[in-house]
């Protein structure tokens, strides 16, 4: 995982697939309409 950004209700995940610190090989995933969630404590 290289970087995680949240802009409004969109979540951007950047994954470096080159095995190093190169900026050439990335997978960029965009999740839209992300909302906050409240949950109960685990049992």
What's the mean pLDDT in 16-40?
79
Read off the pTM.
Answer: 0.62
Residue 23 pLDDT > 70:
no
Predicted confidence at residue 13, as pLDDT, reads 93
- Whether the Cβ atoms of residue 15 and residue 26 lie closer than 8 Å to each other: yes
Residue 39, classed as helix, strand or coil, is: coil
**pLDDT confidence band for 36 (50 / 70 / 90):** confident
More confident residue, 2 or 32: 32
Contacts 24+ apart (CB under 8 A), 5-10: 6/34, 9/33, 9/34, 9/35, 10/34
């Amino acid at each position: 995982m290289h970087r995680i950004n949240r802009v409004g209700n969109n979540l951007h995940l950047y994954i470096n697939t080159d095995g190093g610190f190169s900026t050439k090989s990335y997978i960029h995933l965009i999740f839209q309409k992300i909302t906050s969630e409240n949950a109960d404590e685990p049992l």
